[in-house]
Every structure is written in structure tokens, then in C-alpha cells.
Amino acid sequence: MRFRQVHLDFHTSEHIPGIGTQFSKQQFQEMLTRGHVDSITVFAKCHHGWAYFPSEVNDQHPNLDFDLLGAQIEAAHEINVKTPVYISVGFEEKMARIHPEWLMRDEKDRTNWVDGFMVPGWHQFCLNTPYLDHVIAQTEEVVRKYDADGIFLDIVGVRKCYCPTCLNQLLAEGKDPFNEKHVAEQGERVYANYAKRIREAIQAIKPDMPVTQNSGHFPHGRRDLIDVNTHLELESLPTAGWGYDHFPLSARYVQPLGVDFLGMTGKFHKFWGEFGGYKHPNALRYETALSLAHGAHCSIGDHLHPEGLMDPATYDLIGAAYSEVEAKEAWCENTVNIADVALLSVESTGYEQHGSAMFTNQYDAGAVRLLLEGKFLFNVVDMDSDFNAYKLIIMPDHVLVNEKLQAKLENFTAQGGKILASGKSGMDWQEQQFVMDFGVRHLGVNTFKPDYFRPSFELANLGHANFLIQAVGQRIELTEGGTELAKRVDPYFNRKAFQFSGHQHTPFTFRKEDESPGVVQTCNSIYIAWNVFEDYAVEGSLPVKELIHQCMRMLLTEPTLSTNLPAQGVVTLQHQTSQKRLVNHLLYASPVSRGQGVEIIEDILPVHDVKVDLHLPGKDIAGVYLAPQKTPLAYDIVDGHIQYTVPVLKGHQMVVLDLK
């Protein structure tokens, strides 16, 4: 897999004339060179449904009069740039109006993405209809005709569908279309059949052809879906709704699974298909560095103008990032993330309630932000992961426990592992009682919201107080082995129409009868009786952050890495085993909010004197240097700890530790 890829969208309406009339091999090559691009995904078929080559099984775009796909492949290959080929699977808008009976429907008979034909937008096809044969024939033609370096299949995944074909099949099988489980099971079978058939069709022609199936977000806990890909492309455009926390959350789940993957961002100010919108070069420099720091290759989304002319401003922008990636590649290939902490993803356990963060529930979103800000080394895991590879497992807010998970967690703690849990985590699947021994008994959901916590220890920047917490809480009592670390303090009453006090919530009381346990420690766990990770994702409360960080440090007494890098910094430690070296990635940029909820990176400010302390028992260090500069860096070894100071960090810096 190449490191410096571009995903060149080309969704082009039949109402636009002169398709490809300004395409020039020389200009195409000049832009790729200017952008330091070594792989570019080009289009065989777009969402509108048009082919961009002379097709026997599809219709060439009516305003294109030559083989644009073939010309792009030829031009790229001449300068050693690879060309994966894009095929839209889920959308083919011209066919949607011819065969509306092939479209997905919801339970109210509405179409998918847009709910009818009187608004502009796409209509998604059901792959349980004859459309599947249609799209397989299109794919076979491309694989057979062209020297593609891969096939990118878009808008696919497990779906729930109520179209006539799916409903009739359910009824014929004696299933109930009103039973959501039956509908979901059918969606699984439909996707599995599609994925098997299209992979077999491709491999029958070119057995070694790379294939990726894109559904935007790779779902945690669905390892079975990896097998239909040769690699993963993690779509995560920070300014388009995903935010800057999504990619670390996604990448830290995928990297430990051992699959090749890349991080896909975009050059756009916001979303795909935005003509005339540009990020600041510093944003792309940071986003591509973030991919490298997580063991990923890089992809940047662009959209070709209908007339086929590549945009010089875009490739200057991309080149600013990819010239740096090119210099760093040697230290980023085939790496393994070193982690002390395992974040047991709520998504991976099957709990499907999602919040406002795109594709990310607020429990996981809050947890990853807290881990990043605390500079903890972590992976994101599912119930099939090896828990014993970690020192601490975090169970954020809603990790319900079945027998299999209970046995794994109990084995983990028996081996000396620690658990930090919150909210309903550790309870049975009926949410009745704790099956994990956290030193507490569940008494029910607390009736007061919001309420307060009062820790027995001082918070780092705030000392002692009764601190507001706005998320839902559980009422608990101590059992044998539990030690109270913080109290819950109730307000006088909940705020309601004819009973309220002040501008917002009701103050806490000083009555002892309004206090109960809120945070409890045992010999191998700390339990926090609120949805604190959700609270941090939504409210961003400093007391909540400091509570969680302090609890983590109580459990993780000897972290592998400590640093004074500020809160918005990101740190990873990658092991490049083939080169016998560790690579410490340090990143710093501070996104700001522009417009309505758009996170923007513009200024990258230098951070001076970044101190790093690594505890690496059993590893002998031969030398330390900055990369890609190859400048030696002074270091000390004190009581088994390797300590060094990076004089200045501007955006991204790698520190390489050669191992003896």
C-alpha cells in the first residue's frame, strides 16, 4: 500500500456539458507530481451511474466522448503512480428512476438517503434485488478491461431493508417483517451474499486484486467484515461531522487487528464534492501526521472538475502535507502500537444508541477524548481481544456484561489487571444488577439529575468542592471490599415548572442524608456511578476530566509513557520491529470552532521543551534521534526510565529510539 494517496471523486451530472474536455495527460501528471502523490483512485462509475469509459454493460456519460478512465490510468502509471478504480455500488441515480422497485425502503416505504424523488439527492439500492447482478457485471468489466491497482466499492454495508423483495422473502421464509431481529438478520445475509459474490467475481479474473468495501466507518466488534476487504480505508473527514477524535478512535481499534489500513481525510473545507472549498495547509499537515502516528497510510479526498482539469491550488495544498509524509515514511511502515490501556468500546458490545458525533456514540467519544488529553497509551478493543495484553481496561458508561465477557474480565483481574468502569458498565444485559465485583450494590437509577460529586482527594487544578455532574447516575451502596473515594451529593430537588431555583440547576444540600457513595475502589477496580464519559463528550467539564484522570493514575501506577505535552497534544509509541526501533510520535494542534460546529486547524503554534519519560523494562537503548531530521537527541536513563526533552515541537515530531 502506498502512503500518499488521493481519492479523486467524479460524481458528475448528465446536465453538465463538455465532460473531460480539458483533461491533459501532461497537466494530470504535473499535478500528481506537484502533490507528491503516489496513488490516485480514479472513477469507473459515479453515484449518478455513468461510466467514464466505453462500457458494454453500462452507459458512458452522455457528454464524454473518450476513455477518460483509461487515459488517467495510462498517465498515472507512466510516472509510477498507482490507480485503484472506484465503482459506486449503493447509488446509481439514472437507474433509480428506471427500476425504483430495486431501491431500499424503510418500514414506511420511503427511499433511503432522500425519501423520494422530489428532492435532490441519492437513492440507495437494495442488494437483494436484480441490481446485484447488474453491479457485478459492471465490476467484472472494469477488472477485465483495465490495469487497475485495486477496486474501491462504495456505499455498501449491512442494511435493514423493507423493499418488496425483502418483505416477500421474509414472508416466504415464515419470518415476521415487524420483528426487527428478523429484518436485521436478513440484512446480514444480504450483505454477506453481496460481498462473497463480488469478491469471487473479481478474483476469478485477477486473483490478487486489492479490494476495499467502503461504508464510511468500520464498526467496532465486526471483525467478520474485515474478511471481505484486502485493506481498510477509514473515512474520517474532521470538518465534515466526524471531528478530530473520530480517527484516533477508529484507528486504535483497527491497528491491533493487523490489517493494512489508511486514514482518509479531505482537502475540502467541509464535505465531499465541495468546489472552491479549501483547508489551511496546516490542517492537512496535521491530519496526515495523525495517520502516520497511528500506523496508517494516508488518503486525501479531492473532486475533479467536470471538464477534467486538475486544480493547481488543491495539489499545492496536498503537496504541503505529502512532501512531509514522503520524508517520514521510512519510520512509519509496519508498526505496532504500544498500549497500557484498553478502551472496551461500547459500540463493539452491541449497544447501538448513537449520539451527535458522526458514527460514534458519546460514551466512546468521551472516553477517547479523555485518553488523548491524558496522554495515556491505549488501544480500542472488543470482546474478542486479548485483555491480558493491557494493564488497565476502561468500560465506559454502558458496557453490559454477558457470561463470556464476565469470564474474560475476571481472568484479567486475576492476572493483576485493573478496571475503570462507570454508569451501567459491569451490569448484566437486563441492567438489573452488577455481575462484576466493584464493591457496590445497585439500588437503581438516581432520581436527581444533575447532582454533584465530592471526592475525598483534591483535584489537580480545583482542590476540594462539590462538583457538578450533568449525566445520569446510578444509586449504589458499598459492599465488602469497597472503599469510598467520592460521595454523591444530591440537590434539594429537581428543576421543574413550579419548583426551581435560580437560572439553572438546584444547589447541593449539606444534609448527610442526601449523600451516598459515588466513586468506589476495590483492590482491582474503580467504579464511578455516573455516565462520566458521556458527560465529558457533551459538557467537557474540567472536574469530570480531572476525576477520571486521577482515578486512572491510581490504577495505572507505572505507565509506559509520561509527558508534559499540553492537553490538545496527541502522543503514540509505535514499535517498528523490522527495524528494531521505537518511534514516539508527538503532535500538537488546537482546533477552533468556526461557523456552526466546524472544527478548523489553521495556526500550528510551537510547543517548547516537551519532556518525555518512557518506562521500558527489558529494552536496551542504542541511541535516540529526531526523525526525519536524523538529529541526535540527548537522553538520560534514570532508574530504568529513558528521559529526553524535545526542544521544540511544531505540528508533528517523531523521536526514534534504536534498540540494541
In tens, the pLDDT along 481-515 reads: 999 999 999 988 888 888 888 888 887 888 888 88
**Cα separations in angstroms, 12 against 44, 187, 314, 610, 649:** 12, 30, 19, 48, 43
Give the mean model confidence (pLDDT) for residues 571-580: 96
Instruction: Answer yes or no: is pLDDT of 79 > 90.
Output: yes
Confidence at residue 60, expressed as pLDDT on a 0 to 100 scale: 98
Q: What is the mean pLDDT of residues 87-97?
A: 97
Q: In what order do the strands lie in the sheet with 85-88?
A: 211-214, 151-154, 85-88, 39-45, 4-9, 297-303, 261-266, 232-235
In whole angstroms, give the CA distance from residue 285 to residue 294: 15
Asked if the model's pLDDT at residue 587 lies above 90, the reply is: yes
Per-chain mean pLDDT for the chain: 95
Which cell is 301 given? 479526498
**Per-residue model confidence (pLDDT) at position 215:** 84
Residue 351 has pLDDT above 80, yes or no: no
CATH homologous superfamily of domain 561-659? Answer: Golgi alpha-mannosidase II (2.60.40.1180)
Cα-Cα end-to-end distance for the chain: 29
CB proximity list for 631: less than 8 A, separation 6 or greater: 625
pLDDT for position 598: 86
Q: What is the pLDDT of residues 609-645, one digit of tens each?
A: 999 999 999 889 999 999 999 999 999 999 989 999 9
d(CA 310, CA 380): 39
Q: Which residue would you say has higher pLDDT here, 168 or 432?
A: 168
Give the CATH architecture of domain 341-555. Answer: 3-Layer(aba) Sandwich (3.40)
430 Cβ neighbours under 8 A, 6+ residues apart: none
Q: Which three cell numbers stand for residue 129?
A: 434485488
Inform me whether the pLDDT recorded for 110 exceeds 80: yes
What's the confidence (pLDDT) of residue 492? Answer: 84
298: nearest Cα among 348, 351, 260: 260
CATH superfamily of 4-158+194-327: Glycosidases (3.20.20.80)
Query: Average of pLDDT values for 180-184?
Result: 95
Q: What pLDDT was estimated at residue 498?
A: 85
pLDDT of residue 361: 86
Give yes or no for residue 138 having a pLDDT over 80.
yes
**Cα separations (Å) of 16 from 13, 21, 40, 61, 464?**
6, 12, 24, 10, 66
pLDDT classification of 354: cutoffs 50, 70, 90: very low
| pLDDT for the residue numbered 355 | 47
> Where along the chain do its domains lie?
4-158+194-327, 341-555, 561-659
- Which residues are CB-neighbours of 542 under 8 A, at least 6 positions away? 461, 462
**Closest Cα partner for 148 from 210, 237, 204, 67?**
210
pLDDT in tens, 49-63: 999 999 999 999 999
Return the residue matching grid coordinates 437483494.
128
Percent of the chain with pLDDT over 90: 88
For residue 353, the model assigns a pLDDT of 53
CA–CA separation, 217 vs 157, rounded Å?
A: 10
pLDDT of residue 595: 83
Cβ atoms within 10 Å, residue 551: 24
Q: Please, which pLDDT band fits residue 187 given cuts at 50, 70 and 90?
A: very high
Average pLDDT over residues 87-92: 98
Predicted confidence at residue 542, as pLDDT, reads: 96
Residue that is written with C-alpha cell 450494590 in the block:
441
Pick the range with the lowest mean pLDDT from 224-238, 310-324, 366-380.
224-238
3-state secondary structure 101-161: HHECECCCCCECECCCCCCCCCEEECCCCCHHHHHHHHHHHHHHHCCCCCEEEECCCCCCC
pLDDT in tens, 324-346: 999 999 999 999 999 999 999 99
